[in-house]
Amino acid sequence: MALVAGIAPAWAQTEIRFTLGWKTQGSDAPFLMALSKGYFAEEGLNVTIDQGEGSAATVTRIMGGAYDAGFGDINAIIQNAAQRPGEAPVMVYQLWNRPPFAIVTPKTSGIETPADFAGRTLGGAQGTPTTRLFPVFAELNGIDLASVAQENMAPNLQEPMMIRGDIDGAFVFTITSWFNLIANRQDPANDYNWFQFEDYGMDLYSNGLMVSRALLTDNPEAVAGLVRAVNRATLEIAKDQDAAMEAIMAFDNLVDPELERARLNFALTNLMNAPEVDTIGMGDLVDERLTRSIGIVAKGYGLERLPEASEIFDRSFLPPVEERAFAVEIMN
Amino acid sequence: MTEANRIRMMSFSLIIGFFLLWEVLCIVLNVSDLVLPRPSEIIVTLWTRFPVLWPHILQTLYSTLTGFVLGVIIGVSIGVLIGTSRVAYGVAYPLLVGFSSIPKVAVVPIFVLWFGSGTTPAILTAMVICVFPIVVNIATGLATTEPDLEDVLKTLGASKKEILWNVGLPRTMPYFFASLKVAITLSFVGAVLSETVASNRGIGNVMMTASSNFQVSLVFAGLIVLALMGVALYAFFSFLESRVTGWATRGNDIAIT
Amino acid sequence: MNMTSDISAKAMPTPAPQPAPQPASRSNPVHPRPAIELQDASVVFGSGDKAVTALSPTTLKMERGDFLALVGPSGCGKSTILRLASNLIQPSSGNVLLGGREAAAKELRIGMAFQNPTMLPWLTIEKNVMLPLKIVEPFKRTFQRDRKGAYRDRVHALLEQVGLKDFAGHFPWQLSGGMLQRANLCRALIHDPDLLLLDEPFGALDQFTREELWQILQDLYLDRKPTVLLVTHDLREAGFLARRICVMSARPGRIISDKAVTMPQPRDIGVIYSPDFVEMTQGLRELIAQIRK
């Protein structure tokens, strides 16, 4: 389908307030490139992007009305949809097919299997999906939850405390923690064990582009435009990380370009790329798997009702699958 | 050398000494730069990254000053109201105290929820945090205006407004300017606080970003910048105070007989 | 101003006071309505058991251009009478009439000087003295236009009369007590008041300064002829300046003596040492001593 010809005049553009999932990261490239290269503008959208407070906070920010769209966690949508049906935002373009949720432990603590967690201390930030879903992880893997001590701490302190030995492991996001360990002069590949939730029975979906109910109802053309622009940028960054980094630095000149480039590559390789994506194309997901995730989340968060998959994800704005062919080529 | 200059030199030496001690201790105790960077490192970071930091400094200044100006306008209005009316004083004071007791850290997320991240919550936080000292000082200044001063105009048949304008307000200026020093510092704190929670720009944001990427040297560079900005703002208003209300502190000088 | 000092107070008839020349713009009539009149006015502070009578019901009349000194022991209510006249307080009973009307009337111009000169510390002496012109009609109306011109000249002329010409641009903290009190007098007179109320204005000053200021005040009085009510504890001050002296009893005060001072004006400062003067003040002193027992 041909893109809208030309750029809509300023007065005709729709204002969209967009929130990221955290401080600027390499993995935000799809949105920042769509902004800096004018893809949003071509769709008649005047998008302002703000840094975020967390992938779950994106959902609350949109529900609060201050934002129309954002990059955030589908599991937070599930949680809010259960408690407030009809109010939670809707995912319209799934980006991270594989979840970043993991428990990381230093090899020196001697934890090799989930059973070894018993009697140890793990640290996590309150409210993050990894921390909250641990009970489900424990149940699926035969761990006595009561035997694991959990300590509460700010996300920034997890790696330092783990290095110091104050905790035996931490509930983290792989994409964040991997690089935090490097910044702390650690070797995440060789000195640490990663228990990724997807390997232990929890193949949840994760971050993607979500929009508010209001935008969905009042201005579906804008949603379609958002999706088209983000799709275009996503396919491009898979091949052209240089352009991606340009867009990132244009948005926030404080970040470390090398670090964020590594993080972008990590996201492309470990979170966005998957056999499933080869089949259904970038942006889509499999309903049956989503329904299973809803079950897992409901269990972990103690939700009273199971939302329908259709409440969580709306694929009607996705371009045809031929136009969503995702092929990662990491540049050197 | 004059006494004043001597004191300045000693103050300067103390500051230099502090940084030297820091540097030496870090080297001697082999402190990791992830925990506490050395001043020399911080200075290098500050120097090399200054062009990047500059727009953020301006952003923080802008939020601080805007919030401050708004806070002054509101503070003076409320202060005049409750300083001149016993009724208003009794009615409004408990509520004011209640509001001011709320730690502003708790208020920032609410502002962000209402207005989104960025400049608006920063200005609002800066404004809200500095209103109370101004209100209190103005109200106190007005309420404690010496009756003798007011009598001078009262015997002439001046209206309440005329007395307020000619006696009350000028009389209150020393209190007002004293409160400005406090208010500008608080505004500054409020703006930075908001930036650390939710913003794309500003020194508070710089520190949060640097912190989450473990660029500890940059965090400290941000701290130094904040300290310098705070001192500069305070000094400016201190200077302003001495210029405008010199009459209030001059009474001790020797008079002509 | 320099009459010989051996003119006996008893021998000479009292020169009749001349009515003050009335500027054309004034609305007050020239015929002799009492400038101040207290009709059984009393002042009581507090109520019930805690009631304190500051002033017993008192009747007092002052004609235009008169100069009356009120003397009496501390707390006898002399300042209270002044405050009634200046409209700073209301009588608890009785009436206070100024220019024949209830004291609330604003048309009678009042100038007041307290013991504490109370200059506004943020204004120069010139601006302080000019202050009444900002508040009082008809000067108020043209204040913006005249403050740099006609009013400024007026202020400087008055300051010169009291010897403060060179200090117009100074601030109050730079002047001594005596100088501030001189400025205070100027401020009390700048707007041509009908009524000048003075509450122990020279009480805080040393004898030399006081004598200097008596003479200045006498000059200003004879020049402009306002009605003056002077409250003082200094009998010589009363005798030197006033045409009439009222003695008040102790609290609750009432007027127990009201006598004219017959010495002609202007009086030379040396007159305070003349036998007649001394006799007069001694008589007052005895009267007050009796009250205080």
Residue A37 has a CB neighbour count (10 Å cut-off) of 18
CB distance B213–A259 less than 8 Å?
yes
Same domain for A270 and A165, yes or no, is no
Q: What is the DSSP letter of C165?
A: G
- pLDDT tens-digit map of B214-235: 889 999 999 999 999 999 999 9
Determine, yes or no, domain membership for B253. no
Residue A140's pLDDT is 92
What share of chain C in percent tops pLDDT 90?
25
Same domain, B16 and B127: no
Residues B26 and B121 in one domain: no
Residue C249 tokens, joined: 């009893």
Domain-located, residue B82: yes
Q: Is residue B157 part of a domain?
A: yes
Residues 218-257 of chain B whose Cβ lies under 8 A from any Cβ of chain C:
245, 247-248, 250-251, 253, 255-257
Strands (E), A14-100: 14-19, 45-50, 69-73, 90-94
Q: Are residues B15 and B110 in the same domain?
A: no
Kindly state the percentage of chain A with pLDDT values over 70. Answer: 96
Q: CB–CB of C99/C108 below 8 Å?
A: yes
Kindly tell me if the per-residue pLDDT of C39 is higher than 60. Answer: yes
Question: Best mutation site among A23, A254, A259, A260 for testing chain B: the one with the most B CBs within 10 Å?
Answer: A254
Instruction: Indicate whether B101 belongs to any domain.
Output: yes
Q: How far is A201 from chain B (nearest CA, A)?
A: 30
Best of B145, B146, B150, B152 to mutate (most C CBs within 10 Å, chain C): B152
Between B47 and C26, the higher pLDDT residue: B47
Contact B199, B117 (CB under 8 A): yes
Kindly state whether residues A91 and A107 are assigned to the same domain.
no
CA distance, residue C173 to nearest chain B CA (Å): 5
Residue with the bigger pLDDT between B63 and B198: it is B63
CA gyration radius, chain A? 20
C237-286 pLDDT, tens digit per residue, is: 999 999 999 998 877 777 888 888 888 888 888 888 889 889 898 988 88
Do chains C and B meet with 3 or more Cβ pairs nearer than 8 Å?
yes
pLDDT of res. C102: 66
Length of chain A in terms of residues written:
332
Instruction: Report CB contact under 8 Å: B255, C175.
Output: yes
Average pLDDT over residues C222-232: 91
Number of domains in chain B: 2
Asked if C191's CB is within 8 angstroms of B153's CB, the reply is: no
**Percent of chain B topping pLDDT 70:** 97
Segment C48-69, tens digit of pLDDT: 788 888 888 888 888 888 999 9
Tell me whether residue A332 is in a domain.
no
Chains with at least 3 CB pairs less than 8 angstroms from chain B: A, C
> Do A153 and A170 belong to one domain?
yes
Residues B51 and B113 placed together within one structural domain of the fold: yes
Cβ pair B155:C131 closer than 8 A:
no
Q: Tell whether C106 is within 8 A of chain B (Cβ).
A: yes
- Please report, for residues A235, A272, C261, the alpha-carbon distance to residue A330 in angstroms, rounded to integers and kept in the order given: 13, 13, 115
Domain that holds residue B60: 34-245
What is the CATH classification number for the domain harbouring B48? 1.10.3720.10
Q: What is the pLDDT of residues A278-290, one digit of tens each?
A: 999 999 999 999 9
Subunits next to C (3 or more Cβ pairs <8 Å) are: B
Query: What would the pLDDT profile of A160-212 be if each residue is shown by its tens digit?
Result: 999 989 999 999 999 999 999 998 999 999 999 999 999 999 999 999 999 99
Predicted pLDDT at C47: 79
Closest CA to A228 of A317, A132, A332, A116: A317
Kindly state whether residues B39 and B22 are assigned to the same domain. Answer: no
Instruction: Please state, in angstroms and rounded to a whole number, the distance separating the CA atoms of residues A240 and A105.
Output: 34
Which of A17, A23, A60 lies nearest to residue B208, judging by beta carbons? A23
Q: What is the pLDDT of residues B65-106, one digit of tens each?
A: 999 999 999 999 999 999 888 888 888 888 888 988 888 888
Is it the case that chain C and chain A have 3 or more CB pairs lying under 8 Å apart? no
Q: Which of A200, A229, A264 represents a domain boundary (last residue)? A: A200
C-facing residues of B in 145-164 (CB < 8 A) are 146, 148-149, 151-158, 162
Structural domain that includes position A249:
10-97+205-324
Contact C92/B at CB under 8 A: no
B/C interface, count of CB pairs below 8 Å: 72
Residue A277 and residue A309 in one domain: yes
Are B45 and B20 in a shared domain? no
Class of domain C64-83+107-292: alpha beta
pLDDT top residue among A94 and B252: A94
Is the domain of A131 the same as that of A277?
no
Q: What is the CATH number of the domain that holds A258?
A: 3.40.190.10
Residue A120 pLDDT greater than 90, yes or no: yes
Q: What's the rounded Cα separation, in Å, for the pair B61 and B68?
A: 10
Same domain for A125 and A73: no
pLDDT at B33 over 90: no
- Interface with A, mutate which of B32, B57, B113 (most A CBs under 10 A): B113
Query: Is residue A273 domain-resident?
Result: yes
Q: Is B120 on the interface with A (CB under 8 A)?
A: no
Confidence of residue C74 (pLDDT cuts 50, 70, 90): confident
How does the average pLDDT of chain B come out, rounded?
A: 89
Determine contact: C175 vs chain B, CB below 8 A: yes
Would an 8 Å CB–CB cutoff place B209 in contact with chain A?
Answer: yes
Contact between A51 and B212 using a beta-carbon 8 Å cutoff:
no
Same-domain status, A87 and A218? yes
Of A149, A170, A200, the domain-final residue: A200
ipTM of the complex: 0.73
Average pLDDT over every residue of A143-151: 91
- Chain B residue with CA closest to C110: the answer is B156
Q: Is residue B256 part of a domain?
A: no
Residues A111 and A173 in one domain: yes
Q: Which of B185, B177, B62, B76 is nearest to B131 (CA)?
A: B76
Whether C97 has its CB under 8 Å from any CB of chain B: the answer is no
C-alpha dist (Å) from residue A250 to A32, A35, B52, C227: 8, 10, 12, 83
Contact C135 B153 (CB under 8 A): yes
Determine the residue type at A215: L
On the question of pLDDT at C163 being above 80, the answer is: yes
Whether C18 shows a pLDDT value over 70: the answer reads no
Whether C9 has a pLDDT exceeding 50, the answer reads no
Structural domain total, chain A: 2
A183 contacts in B (CB within 8 Å)? 34, 213-215
Q: Do C174 and B256 touch (CB under 8 A)?
A: yes
Identify whether residues A81 and A115 lie together within a single domain.
Answer: no
Q: To the nearest 10°, the Cα dihedral for A111, A113, A115, A118? A: 20
Distance CA C224, CA A215 (A): 83
Put simply, whether C112 touches B (Cβ < 8 Å) is yes
Q: Please determine, for residue C20, whether its predicted confidence score (pLDDT) is greater than 60.
A: no
For residue C23, pLDDT over 50 is answered with no
The tokens of A30 are what?
């799809």
Instruction: Specify if A144 maps to a domain.
Output: yes
- With beta carbons under 8 A apart, name residues in chain B contacting C106: 157
3-state secondary structure chain B: CCHHHHHHHHHHHHHHHHHHHHHHHHHHCCCCCCCCCCHHHHHHHHHHCHHHHHHHHHHHHHHHHHHHHHHHHHHHHHHHHHHHCHHHHHHHHHHHHHHHHCCHHHHHHHHHHHHCCCHHHHHHHHHHHHHHHHHHHHHHHHHCCCHHHHHHHHCCCCCHHHHHHHHHHHHHHHHHHHHHHHHHHHHHHHHHHHHHHCCCCCHHHHHHHHHHCCCHHHHHHHHHHHHHHHHHHHHHHHHHHHHHCHHHHHHHCCCCC
Q: Which of A232, A204, A168, A248 is nearest to A91 (CA)?
A: A204
The verdict on a CB contact (< 8 Å) between B116 and A253 is no
* Predicted structure pTM score: 0.76
Residues of chain C with C-beta less than 8 angstroms from the C-beta of B145: none
More confident residue, B179 or C30: B179
Cβ neighbours of C116 in B, within 8 Å: 148
> Does the beta-carbon distance from B152 to C118 stay under 8 Å?
yes
Mean pLDDT of the A147-152 span? 91
Find tokens 């949109």 and name the residue: A62
Which of B113, B118, B212 is opposite residue A156, by nearest beta carbon?
A: B212
What digits encode the pLDDT tens for the residues A63-118? Answer: 999 999 999 999 999 999 999 988 999 999 999 999 999 999 999 999 999 999 99
Contact at CB, B209 and A185, closer than 8 angstroms:
no
Do B56 and B3 share a domain, yes or no? no
Distance from CA of C280 to the nearest CA of B (A): 34
Q: Is the pLDDT of residue A3 over 60?
A: no
The answer to whether the peptide bond before residue C266 is cis (omega within 30 degrees of 0) is yes
Same structural domain, A89 and A209? yes
Q: How far is C193 from chain B (nearest CA, A)?
A: 10
Q: Which of A22, A66, A156 sits opposite B115 (nearest CB)?
A: A66
Residue of C nearest to B254 (CA): C174
Query: What is the nearest CA distance from B211 to chain A, expressed in angstroms?
Result: 8
Residue B250: inside a domain? no
Q: Kindly state whether residues A303 and A211 are assigned to the same domain.
A: yes
pLDDT (tens digit per residue) in A219-274: 999 999 999 999 999 999 999 999 999 999 999 988 889 999 999 999 999 999 99
* Distance in angstroms (rounded) separating the CA atoms of residues A165 and A175: 22
Q: Does A17 fall in a domain? A: yes
A66/B116 CB distance under 8 A: yes
Closest Cα of chain A to B121: distance in Å?
Answer: 12
Give me chain C's average pLDDT, please: 81
- Distance (Å) from the alpha carbon of A58 to chain B's nearest alpha carbon: 11
pLDDT at C104 > cutoff 90: no
CB contacts of B146 in chain C (<8 Å) are 118
Specify the pLDDT at position C11.
Answer: 40
State residue C271 phi and psi, 5-degree precision.
Answer: -65, -20
Task: Tell me: do B13 and B54 sit in the same domain.
Answer: no
A286 min Cα distance to partner chain B (Å): 33
pLDDT at B251: 52
Co-location of A61 and A107 in the same domain? no
Identify the domain boundary among A200, A216, A239: A200
